[in-house]
A and B are shown apart, each in its own frame.
Chain A
Amino acid sequence: MDTLTLILYVAFAPLLGGLLAGVDRRITARMQGRFGPPILQPFYDVVKLFNKENLVVRRSQTVYIIFFLAFMVFTGGIFYAGEDLLLVIFSLMLANTFLVLAAYKGSSPYSAIGAERELLQIMAYEPMVLFYVVGIYMASKTFYIETIATTQHPMLIRFLPGIFLGFLYVLTIKLRKSPFDLSTSHHGHQEIVKGITTEFTGPSLGLIEITHWYENVLLLGMVSLFFAPNLWMGAGVALAIYLLEIFIDNACARARWQFTVFSSWVVAAVLGFGNILALTLFG
């Protein structure tokens, strides 16, 4: 177990995630011909949210959000501590379930639709994420992230090009970017903008923001694992990919759920499973 990266993650992931969000907003604004907010704007927003009144529909909905945050930190924690990759995926699923249940608890039609759409999104990306784990295991012969990251072996992406591309496809869903931002979006022109977070304001919305920062840093870590043992290169590529996602976000209109689910499944089957097939047959 790597205690240092664990502590670094828990302490500084929100900082990095918040900065990324700030850069995201600035670049997005430039793409749309606006000047955009300061880079630190996401932090100002969250501080402001925490000073607002906490309006809720059901009192317990905030508890779900607190557990969403707790399990997200826990998930990222096991990842950066270098533990079992499968456990990371399962723990991530648990964290996301808390967010979906929080939206159901919100008990309005909008948050209910958001919850259903979030479930569709999870169903869309889940196969590819699991193929990612299977592929990493087949290429590195272990589930332990620390071993994957530190053992000297040829860069994993050389064995996993299909899985890498497939993972990028579903990463768009996970990062909540268009065209796959069905359940909640930061683009004002969608038919339902905030869906899953409709019934959250003030401090609980602030917690949701922080959780997303943790989640994004975890996801970028998962991307950089493809370049193990050269993790610095992996981190660079992950950041470049984040920029690419911002571009895709601004270039695409929201897709229907049918396209989101079935295209992700097809991509997972062709690129993800195809890669695994190749590894089984020729590896």
Chain B
Amino acid sequence: MTVPAGNTPALATGMDRWHFIHPATDREGNKLESILFLILCPLIAALALSLIRRNSIRRLVVNISAAVLITASLWLLRNHYAVSIQLYQVDTGWIRLWMQFIELGITGYLITMSVRYKKWSIIPLVLAQAGISLWFEVTQGHHLEGGSALFIDRLSLIMAMIIGIIGSLIAVYSLGYMEGYHAQKKNVADRRRSFFFVIFVFLSAMFGIVFSNDLLWFYFFWEITTVCSFFLIAYHGKQEAVDNAFLALGLNLIGGLAMLLGIVILFLRQGIFEWDQLLIQNKLLMMTPVILLSIAGIVKSAQLPFSSWLLGAMVAPTPVSALLHSSTMVKAGVYLLVKLAPLFTGTYAGLLVALIGGFTFVMTSIIAISQRDSKKVLAYSTIANLGLVVMCAGIGTYESVWAAVLLILFHATAKCLLFLCVGSIAHTIDSRDIEDMEGLIMAMPKTAGLMLSGIAGMFLAPFGMLISKWAVLVALIDANPILSFLLIYGSAATLFFWVKWMGKLVSVNRRRENIEDGIDWTIWTPLFVMGFLTIAVCLFFPYVSHRMIEPYVISIYGMTATMSMGNIIIMIIMMGLVFIFPFGLLGSRVVLKTQKPVGPYLGGANIPGSRTFLGSDGTVHEVSFQNYYLEKYFGEQLLLYPSIFIALGLLIVLMIGAGI
């Protein structure tokens, strides 16, 4: 009630701007250990898990490792949140050697798999990468030392929180989930030892990505996540899973190859092989390597024309979808692009990247309307939201980068919650079809409640993704109002598919028994913690933004966007109102005592206590109704391939730009 809205020009946009240079807060003292710990601890856990056969010991190890990782992440946050950027020198010679060995091992593994499954097109990609990498190491390796291989800034810290906290929770969830998975699917070989080994290797690689300053390290960890993704998608072992795993592998290898070429060109032309050096260069001289790097980011974040790999990846067990294909690995793609954002500002490459992201957002949001498979809807929505981040990165203004980091944070929490809920629901009702989720508010009230908060978190005011979309819209209007077209149409579609899903969960057609009692605590704990986090990031959003995201944006652009105090107050009031709602539902039986329950109107005579009614000619009819999916207008068959072709066109124009 205090802010005189609009009296000052600074308040005029709703998102204020602050112009000041952040004081140098870099603290002396080497906190390298905590970074190394986060990279190495999951690796040690992975090695231990690869040896453990007993399920009870595995549970113990996974739970302890998760607790340690979460604690270590929070410890890092406590020590580093005030540090704008810190570089660490590491004695890189012998590590580089080890990396080369591991890369050779991976090359061998991938070639073996390709030969075994007769996927010949993968082999040239693998060999090309291995060849270039080896040649570069042998001829230039001695020039690549003495730099700062590791670093930490606030963006990598935010990413580390997502990986450390959300990633660990998903690992715990996997324990209960995979037990049920193998109990249900007797024909699938129980490879849980390898499964947990890969999950923890993956976590280690993700920490490696966000803390690497050396681009070759970055590339090394990047490729490891690709291989982890390949293994986990193929986990089921049936033909479809194997095919989709190879599709994901092939496309991501193309991305990896582009990245490697970008790094090689960057070094040969400019002598640069580190992030901190790259980001201070004249952007016009950097265009070729920057475009090559951004292609890697576009593939990893499953943007059109490469989106099909992420849709195929939904055959993987659901915790894998939550971890790799929504919360973390695909975020590495947009992390790369957001880091490149200052080099995109005002360039044609940036505009094209923004167009690819925006186009992906609008098309995948529209196609999501036609999807009945819950995981497919989540996959399309993930691709769409990553598209928004890509669009923001491509625009590369301080407002859009602020919005991009908000999107990454809010999306990771809400979408992870949704995937975990869907996994739990699919296990219990043995279906992923949204039409089968009717009445879950009675059958699985806790899960449905969490699911509804997750969905609300994805598109409704005053929750996270809505705040982010708001920020994106403001950034677009200020930078390039023409691009707002894509955001606006995509948002309209988003609302449709989320609300009809919510409607399915809350409508109740018949008496339902509670069926969620048998669910394991390793599933409940992550679900409730994620539910809490989804709400908490919205509640503490002004604080998180002020302490972490805005300083990050200032450190790059010298100014930042933020939300004005007046709007924060209104949002908090809205949040308060929304929180009353569940209590309203619980209290409705007590407070609204005068209500008289009757049967619904069925256009005929209801037959009491049943799902049938008498029609006008005396025949008995069953009641059923379905949501609209409108496949004739928004179907995948109709829209996906044209979208891929258009995006391919944009990508080719982008690549021609790289050649010039």
A residues engaging B (CB < 8 A)?
1, 53-60, 62-63, 66-67, 70-71, 74, 78, 82-84, 86-87, 90-91, 93-94, 97, 100-101, 103-113, 115-116, 119-120, 122-124, 126-127, 130-131, 134, 137-138, 141-144, 146-147, 198-199, 258, 265, 269, 273, 276-277, 279-280
Contact = CB atoms under 8 A, between A and B. Distances in A.
Given A93-B495, A277-B482, A142 B13 contact: yes
A92 to B, nearest CB: 9
A123 B628 contact: no
Contacts of A58: 508, 597
B238 to A, nearest CB: 35
Given A110-B603, A138-B477, A142-B12, A94 B461 contact: yes
Would you list the 7 A-B pairs with minimal beta carbon distance, nearest first? A108-B600, A147-B6, A104-B503, A144-B6, A126-B492, A90-B461, A142-B12
Contact of B507 (A54, A84, A86, A104): A104
Contacts of A107: 507-509, 600
Given A70-B577, A113-B625, A280-B481, A258 B596 contact: no
Interface hub of A57, A144, A276, A279 (most chain B Cβ within 10 A): A144
Given A53-B596, A74-B577, A119-B495, A108 B602 contact: yes
B5 A134 contact: no
A71 B580 CA distance: 12
Given A84-B14, A119-B495, A109 B460 contact: no
A105 B442 CA distance: 12
Nearest to B628: A116
Given A55-B596, A62-B588, A94-B460, A273 B485 contact: yes
Contacts of A101: 499, 502-503, 506
A144 B11 contact: yes
B600 A86 contact: no
B445 to A, nearest CB: 12
Given A55-B596, A107-B507, A119-B500, 7 more contacts: A84-B566, A93-B461, A97-B502, A108-B600, A123-B495, A124-B492, A144-B11
Nearest to A3: B1
A84 B628 contact: no
B638 to A, nearest CB: 14
Contacts of B1: 1
Interface of B: 1, 3-7, 11-14, 460-462, 466, 470, 473-474, 477, 480-482, 484-485, 488-489, 491-493, 495-496, 499-500, 502-504, 506-509, 564, 566-567, 570-571, 573-574, 577-578, 581, 584-585, 588-589, 592, 594-603, 623-625, 627-628, 633
A87 B570 contact: yes
Contacts of A198: 600-601
Nearest to A125: B492
Contacts of B508: 58, 105, 107
Contacts of B13: 137, 142-143
Contact of B592 (A54, A55, A93): A54
Contact of B5 (A59, A82, A265): A82
Contacts of B462: 90, 94
B499 A138 contact: no
Given A54-B594, A116-B500, A258-B633, A59 B506 contact: no
A131 B496 contact: no
Given A62-B592, A276-B484, A123 B492 contact: yes
Contact of B482 (A54, A70, A276): A276
A115 B503 contact: yes
28 contacts: A53-B594, A57-B598, A59-B588, A59-B597, A70-B577, A78-B570, A84-B14, A84-B570, A93-B460, A93-B461, A94-B460, A104-B504, A105-B506, A107-B507, A109-B623, A112-B503, A112-B507, A119-B500, A122-B495, A126-B491, A134-B481, A143-B12, A146-B5, A147-B12, A198-B600, A199-B600, A276-B482, A280-B482
A278 to B, nearest CB: 11
Contact of B600 (A82, A90, A106, A130): A106
A91 B461 CA distance: 6
Contacts of A1: 1, 3-5, 566
A126 B574 CA distance: 21
Contacts of A104: 502-504, 506-507
A186 B649 CA distance: 49
A198 B474 CA distance: 39
Nearest to B594: A54
Nearest to B480: A280
A3 to B, nearest CB: 8
A104 B597 CA distance: 16
B485 A87 contact: no
A194 to B, nearest CB: 9
Contacts of B509: 107
B12 A141 contact: yes
Given A62-B592, A130-B473, A134-B484, A71 B496 contact: no
Given A74-B574, A94-B574, A199-B601, A119 B584 contact: no
Contact of A111 (B6, B577, B600): B600
Contacts of A111: 600
A100 B460 CA distance: 13
Interface hub of B503, B566, B633 (most chain A Cβ within 10 A): B503
